[in-house]
Structure 1
Amino acid sequence: MDPHTSAQDVMRCDLCETAVVQMHCDTCFVNLCKACVGEHFSADFSKPHTIVDFKARKSTLIYPKCRSHDVETCEMYCNQCDIPVCNTCIASDQHLGHNFLKTLEVLSKRREKIMMEHTELNETIYPAYQDIACDVEKSLGLLHKEYEKLSVAITKQEEIWQREIKELVTKLKSKIDEMKNKQLETLQKYFDGIKQKISNIQDEINLIDDALISTNISEIFSILSPVDKYRKFPKKIMFAVPEFSPNKIQEGELYNFKPGILEEHEYKLLTKSESPEAGSSPPVKHLLDEPEAVTTIKIDVDCWFFPQLYNVACLSAEEIWTSGSDKTMKLYSINQGSLLKSITTKSGNRPENIAVTKSGDLVYTDYDGRTVNILKNEQIEEVIRLQNWRPSGVFSNDRGDFLVTMYTDNKQSKVVRYSGSTEKQTIQFDETGKFLFSIGSLDNFISENRNLDICVSDWGARAVMVFNQAGNLRFRYTGHTPAPKNKPFCPRGITTDSQSHILTADIANDCVHIIDQDGEFLRYIDCGLSFPWGLCTDTNDYLYVAQQFKKEVKKIKYQK
Structure 2
Amino acid sequence: MDTASSKYRIHKCFKCPGDTEYHCVSCPCDLCPQCKENHVKDLQTIDHDVVSHRDKINYIPTQEICVRHPSHVYIKYCEPCGLPVCFHCRKHKTHKQLDVRTVYKTKQQQHRGTIHTIRSEALFYRPVLLPRMKTDFKTCHTEFSLYQSEMLTKAQTLKNLINKLRKDFMKNVFCDFDFKHRCLKQMIEMSRHIVSLQEYELRYVQPEFTFSALQFLSSIKTALPQIHLTLHTSQLSMTESLNKEDVMESLSAIQITERGNRRVGNQCLLKLTSGAEFHQSLTVTGVDRCYHISCVTSDRVWVSDRDNLMLTDTTGVPLHRVEDSCSDLYGLHTVNSESELIYIDRKRNINKLSKDMKTTTTFIERTDSTWEPRCVYWSLSTGDLLVGMDNYDTWTGKVTRYNQSGQLTQTIQNHITGRGLYREPNYITENNNGDVVVSDSFSAVVVTERGGRHRFSYTGPPSGSVLRPRGICTDALSHILVCDDRTKTVQMIDMDGQFLSHLLIRPSGIFSPQSLSYDVNTHRLSVGSEHNNTVVIYRYITRQDALTDLNPATADVMGVTE
TM-score normalised according to structure 2 size: 0.45
Task: For CA contacts below 8 A with separation 6 or more, give which structure has more relative contact order.
Answer: 2
TM-score between both structures, scaled by the size of structure 1? 0.46
